[in-house]
Amino acid sequence: MTPTTSPQPTARRATGTRATRVLGIVTLVMLGWLLLFGLVLSPADIDQGDAVRIMYVHVPTVWLAYLAFIVTAVCSGLYLFGKRHSLGFDRVAGASAEIGVVFMALTLISGSLWGRITWGVYWQWDARLTTTALLFVTYIGYLAVRGLDGTRERRARRSAVIGLLAVVEIPLVHWSVRLWRSLHQEATILDTDLDVDIDGLMLFTLFSGVIAFTLLFVWLLLHRTRTIALDDLLASRGLDRAIAERRAEVSSSSPSGGGS
Amino acid sequence: MTTVIAMRDAGFILGAYAATVAVIGSFALWVLRAGRRSGRLVDDEEKYWT
Amino acid sequence: MTVGRLRTARRIAAKDLLVERRSRVLVNQVLPFSGLVMVVFAFALGTGGVLERSAPGLIWLAVLFSTLITVQRSFAIETADGALESLRVAGVDPVALFIGKAAALACELIALITVLLGLAVVLYGAEPRAEGIVLLVTTAISATCALAALGTIYGGLAAGGPGRETLLPLLILPVAAPVLIGATRGVEAALGTDRTAVSEGWPWVGLLTVFAVAVGVSGALAFGTLIED
């Protein structure tokens, strides 16, 4: 089988470009910078001691996870209500949700380790934590819906609707969980909140963390969106080839009157 | 390195950092590898970013 | 909301309930299951006061689990012979379809909840007080509407093809949290569990109502897209 449409199939590049490579290097440098400041150069907190160092990865991941879910919701809306129903928006929505789920998993891991140090337990049924966990599971469900069968357009429409339904439901979930927690104001040993007084070098470190993870998010989003685009292209090409083969089969078998 | 080890609760703190680095690293590698694998099968003109 | 749309919705609900009455799956399978769940809770929690205190929550957990089965059943009768597809192709308004399916589901759930509340009186000693009856009924109705709307949205999606049944709990349970929280607190107030006053229950009915309306409206809008395949 020789390609007839493009006489000279050009070099097969992956999802990187010069821009993403530069972005990737800057991201790596920023992450190294964050490790240096977070683990070594920044001071320990007066109340929390060294435990405060977890904040520099915990807070940026949760912010970026929320940002990722906002991107998913916005792109779902743009896909569904845009005039062209561009599948590009659907891919960005899917890629962003995936990254959001990864970041949120990291938030839950680092948060529970932080909680273990400051509260003595990994988990506390606080409104914020509970909502975060429910949000995490909701977007796992969203990704499961994306994995369902169907044509590209159907899958895109379906997941856009699920992505927008989440926007309606999440505030209600948060509201109900907050009401639930405000009922039981148990004054316990767990009353130390994760909030700390931030100043100087600590603020600077946190700021570097946010920048590092924002760059990481953009880099991952670019690559993941392109990977999805490639997979879509391959899937549709596979379909085209299957149809072409079927056609060839029919046209070659009909005049001769059968045969395999 | 000694300052790091001297931290209180070093296990939990370093564990949080290690988990973050490991998860992000493997996710990024997975994305890159998937892109490279699929990228080999598609001509460059069809990639909107080239 | 046009009259025609309501009439279609009523016909679909009547059809669902008729199928249910003929097949008796609810009576023969779902009810025994939820009763069993109530008994199994007693094994897990023991009978030393914990059961009595957590009775309201256990009732709603049993309802939630049974809802999952009922929703699956409600859409299985549609997809088994491509009935949903024919309804869609025949141009039945998806909004009417959503309202009809949700209404039928709500009727079935109300019957289920009534039985489970009775069972809770017997098994858990959860006797309602006279002044809490109105709250109990309002909580049950608003929670049922919320669950029915939620179940219909995701049931339609999960019924679309083979191998999708396991998706339903994953999609429903996280967003059912407000229903479980609100309905449990409402029933606690109605029963007076932990010396709660009846008046403490009404904000939760408000929460349930807001949730039911929000999910109902967005579900009616989204349903057409979700059952497309």
Does the pLDDT of residue A27 top 80, yes or no? Answer: yes
pLDDT at position A248 is 81
- Out of A117-121, A208-212, C64-68, C178-182, which region has the weakest mean confidence (pLDDT)? A117-121
Domain ranges of chain C: 5-226
**Interface present between C and B (3 or more CB pairs within 8 Å):** no
Length of chain B: 50
Q: Place A83 in a pLDDT band, splitting at 50, 70 and 90.
A: confident
Average pLDDT score over residue span B23-45: 88
Per-residue pLDDT tens over the stretch C125-172? 888 888 888 899 999 999 999 999 999 999 888 877 677 878 889 999
Nearest CA among A39, A32, A67, A33 for reference residue A55: A39
Cβ(A118)–Cβ(A51) below 8 Å: yes
Q: What single letter denotes the amino acid at residue A107?
A: T
Q: Place A48 in a pLDDT band, splitting at 50, 70 and 90.
A: confident
**A117 at the B interface (CB within 8 A)?**
yes
Average pLDDT score over residue span C2-11: 85
Does the pLDDT of residue A7 top 90, yes or no? Answer: no
Name the closest residue on chain A to residue C150, using Cα atoms: A169
What is the nearest CA distance from C35 to chain A, expressed in angstroms?
27
Q: What are the chain C neighbours of A145 within 8 Å (beta carbons)?
A: 157, 167, 171
**A121 at the B interface (CB within 8 A)?**
no
Average pLDDT score, chain C = 87
Average pLDDT score, chain A = 82
Task: Please judge whether A227 and B31 are an interchain contact, meaning their C-beta atoms are less than 8 angstroms apart.
Answer: yes
Average pLDDT score over residue span A216-224: 94
Backbone φ and ψ for A45, nearest 5 degrees, come out as -75, 150
A–C: how many Cβ contacts below 8 A? 80
Q: DSSP letter at A235? A: H
Percent of chain C with pLDDT over 70: 98
pLDDT at position A1 is 42
Per-residue pLDDT tens over the stretch A149-201? 878 888 898 899 999 988 888 888 888 888 887 765 444 444 445 555 667 88
A–B: how many Cβ contacts below 8 A? 125
**A113 at the B interface (CB within 8 A)?**
yes
How far apart (Å, rounded) are the C-alpha atoms in residues A201 and A171? 35
Task: Please judge whether C182 and A176 are an interchain contact, meaning their C-beta atoms are less than 8 angstroms apart.
Answer: yes
What is the nearest CA distance from C199 to chain A, expressed in angstroms?
14
Among B7-16, C17-26, C179-188, the range with the most confident prediction by mean pLDDT is C179-188
- Where does residue C73 rank: exposed (0-12), middle (13-18), buried (19+ CB within 10 A)? buried
Strand partners, A5: none
Does the pLDDT of residue A3 top 60, yes or no? Answer: no
Which residues, numbered 165 to 184 in chain A, qualify as contacts with chain C under a Cβ-Cβ cut-off of 8 Å? 165-166, 168-169, 172-173, 175-177, 179-180, 183
- State the best of A39, A107, A121, A234 to mutate against chain B, taking most chain B CBs within 10 Å: A39
Separation of first and last alpha carbons in chain B:
44
**Taking every pair of C-alpha atoms in chain C, what is the biggest distance, in angstroms?**
57
Average pLDDT score, chain B = 82
Output the DSSP codes for A186-226: ---GGG--S-----HHHHHHHHHHHHHHHHHHHHHHHHHHH
How far apart (Å, rounded) are the C-alpha atoms in residues A10 and B44? 6
What is the nearest CA distance from A128 to chain B, expressed in angstroms?
20
B9, B32, B35: residue with CB nearest A230: B35
Backbone φ and ψ for A49, nearest 5 degrees, come out as 70, -145
How far apart (Å, rounded) are the C-alpha atoms in residues A133 and A108? 8
The pair of structure tokens assigned to A132 is 């975060």
Average pLDDT score over residue span C97-106: 91
Separation of first and last alpha carbons in chain A:
20
Average pLDDT score over residue span A20-41: 89
The pair of structure tokens assigned to A149 is 């069968």
Q: Place B5 in a pLDDT band, splitting at 50, 70 and 90.
A: low
Average pLDDT score over residue span B8-24: 88
Query: For the complex shown, is ipTM > 0.90?
Result: no
pLDDT at position A187 is 40
Cβ(C205)–Cβ(C135) below 8 Å: yes
Nearest CA among C156, C197, C154, C159 for reference residue C174: C154
Task: Please judge whether B49 and A61 are an interchain contact, meaning their C-beta atoms are less than 8 angstroms apart.
Answer: no
- Say whether A45 sits in a helix, a strand or coil: strand
- State the best of B2, B24, B37, B46 to mutate against chain A, taking most chain A CBs within 10 Å: B24
Q: Place C91 in a pLDDT band, splitting at 50, 70 and 90.
A: confident
Task: Please judge whether A168 and C211 are an interchain contact, meaning their C-beta atoms are less than 8 angstroms apart.
Answer: no
pLDDT at position A89 is 92
C164, C174, C222: residue with CB nearest A161: C222
**Taking every pair of C-alpha atoms in chain A, what is the biggest distance, in angstroms?**
88
pTM score, whole prediction: 0.85
pLDDT at position A188 is 41
Average pLDDT score over residue span B20-34: 93
